[in-house]
Amino acid sequence: MNEGMNKWYVDAGPDSDVVISSRVRLARNFDAYPFPQRSLPEHQHKVIEETCDALFSGNPKLKDNFSLVRLKDISLTDRQVLVEKHLISKELAESNLETAALISGDEQVSIMFNEEDHLRLQCLASGMQMEKAFDICNYLDNLIADKVDYAFNDTLGYLTSCPTNVGTAIRVSVMLHLPALTMTGYIRTILESCGKLGLAVRGLYGENTEAYGDMYQLSNQVTLGKSENDIVMSIKNISYQIIEQERLLRTELLNKNRNKIEDRIMRSYGVLRFARNLSSDEALQKLSDLRLGINMGLIGELSETDVSEMVIRKRYRPRFIYKKTY
Amino acid sequence: MLCQICKKREATVYFTQIINGQKTNMWVCKQCAANHGIKIGLNSLLTGLLGIDREIQASNNIATRCDRCGMTADDFNRTGRMGCSRCYEVFYEPMQALLTRIHGNTRHLGKTPRKTEQPQTEDTQVEQLKQELQECIKTENYERAAQIRDRIKALNNVNGGRQG
């Protein structure tokens, strides 16, 4: 993969004090073949081949930007790295079908082949940039649709393996860093109201994971009966309400308990710098404090993107922090 | 938050149960969830929701197997996954009921793939144009609104001509 290329997370993006990243995912299936679980290996190969052809024939520049990774060709460790970078799902890494992923050099875009659906197009962007992520997905989707007949029905929209994705087959999500809401316990009320509004709240690594390091992923559940734009806008609106709450609380915490907050943050910074053994849970919690400290202007020598990079690339070993600060 | 069943461990599972339209929400820990047979994951929640009873279906001469990929209603009830695009036609009615329960809606309102735009009926086109018109009026984009209005008029004329 293009290791030298700047990755998407080196820019902080808008509203980066609270919003870590935005993500849009489209699920698509070929009409010609049964969905992956019921398809034959030759169908699965065709899906990969025909998609690459649709995207790259007559578009050599695009081709240079992507690398095709066949999961069977790489080690378990390498698959794990792709999962941690959110470029492929755990399910894809563990699948025994002919799976592959097209990954862009900046690691912003990935297309998963033969996961639950034939195609899963995903785009990540730093901070609050859902529209940007959607535009990129949309562009690639149109390129493919020019050459491939999708499983699509006028009434039901895009047909997917799981009925929960039918319709727009879009999943819009935003990763929020909510330490103040978590610390004060207000987060519970917020999570409950999100549930009532039809939004799913998950931890850092998607479905069925806990909220490590005060990071919460908000995403839409309903995909049928709303346009893509409506879905993006509703997630965005709700996110901004939560973001405002988090900001207010941070200011209040700092005004009322400056000593306590500063102490907590600097302790965490100390642990990250000098500890020799950290479990990933502990590291994520300390990194959460560190990120808060950077936002509050307590730690000038590091930036939010340094923390994002450490979380995403799992490089939170003390040595890395040394390297960043000296 | 503590688990609402054992009241000892930290709750990690938010559990919603809907029985006959009655909704109950609970925060429980993983152990209690397992002990009470609450299976975690979307798959298990969907299972059985298609509500196809094989015997009733067979006696009423309703398909229980997709003629293209071979998926049966039992397969769906077990996995929560459809087999191919044809399954959505074969299991049309139970699927409508399931989709209403999941999404509260059974009509797609979003993007269509470029190529299928052609065979789209005038009716859905008019519907989409009307929505776009509303948005243009909201954003005071009157130039585009006028274009859309003319397009709707043209499409309605086509429809009217056909009916007459």
**Residue B164, pLDDT score:** 32
Q: A110 is written with which tokens?
A: 């990935």
pLDDT in tens, A98-130: 999 999 999 999 999 999 999 999 999 999 999
The answer to whether residue A217 scores a pLDDT higher than 50 is yes
Q: B86 is written with which tokens?
A: 């044809």
Q: CA of A32, closest CA in chain B: separation in Å?
A: 9
Higher pLDDT, B36 or A131: A131
Q: Is B102 on the interface with A (CB under 8 A)?
A: yes
**What residue of A is the nearest CA neighbor of B69?**
A34
Q: SS3 for A254?
A: helix
Point out the residue among B46, B83, B110 whose CB comes nearest to the CB of A167: B110
Q: Token match 């308990």: residue?
A: A257
Q: Could you tell me which residues are beta bridge partners of residue A206?
A: A203
* Residue A189 and residue A273 in one domain: no
CATH of the domain at A114: 3.30.590.10
Domain around A70? 8-247
The answer to whether residue B22 scores a pLDDT higher than 80 is no
Last residue of a domain, one of A190, A225, A247: A247
Q: Token match 């992520």: residue?
A: A133
* Residue A27 and residue A116 in one domain: yes
Q: Report if residue A322 sits inside a domain.
A: no
Q: Token match 């209690």: residue?
A: B32
DSSP code for A222: -
Q: B92 is written with which tokens?
A: 């049309």
Instruction: Please give the C-alpha separations between residue A109 and each of A85, A123, A134, in angstroms, as whole numbers.
Output: 11, 4, 11
The answer to whether residue A36 scores a pLDDT higher than 90 is yes
**Interface pTM, i.e. ipTM:** 0.82
Cβ neighbours for A56, distance < 8 A, ≥ 6 positions apart: A62, A63, A66
Cβ-contact A239, A270 below 8 angstroms: no
Q: A11 is written with which tokens?
A: 């820019």
* pTM of full prediction above 0.90: no
**Residue B51, pLDDT score:** 55
Cβ-contact A140, A109 below 8 angstroms: yes
Q: Report if residue A106 sits inside a domain.
A: yes
* Residue A74 and residue A209 in one domain: yes
Helices A228-256 & A187-196 angle (0-180, nearest 10): 170
Question: In chain A, what are the helix, strand and coil shares in percent, each to the nearest 5?
Answer: 50, 20, 30
The answer to whether residue A66 scores a pLDDT higher than 80 is yes
A161/B81 CB distance under 8 A: yes
**Residue B156, pLDDT score:** 74
Q: Report if residue A266 sits inside a domain.
A: yes
Which spans in chain A are helix H?
41-56, 60-65, 76-84, 90-94, 130-147, 179-184, 187-196, 228-256, 258-274, 280-295, 304-313, 318-325
Q: Report if residue A140 sits inside a domain.
A: yes
The answer to whether residue B97 scores a pLDDT higher than 70 is yes
* Residue A224 and residue A84 in one domain: yes
The answer to whether residue B163 scores a pLDDT higher than 50 is no
Q: CA of B55, closest CA in chain A: separation in Å?
A: 24
Residue A182 burial class via C-beta count within 10 angstroms: exposed 0-12, middle 13-18, buried 19 and up: buried
Average pLDDT over residues A137-153: 95
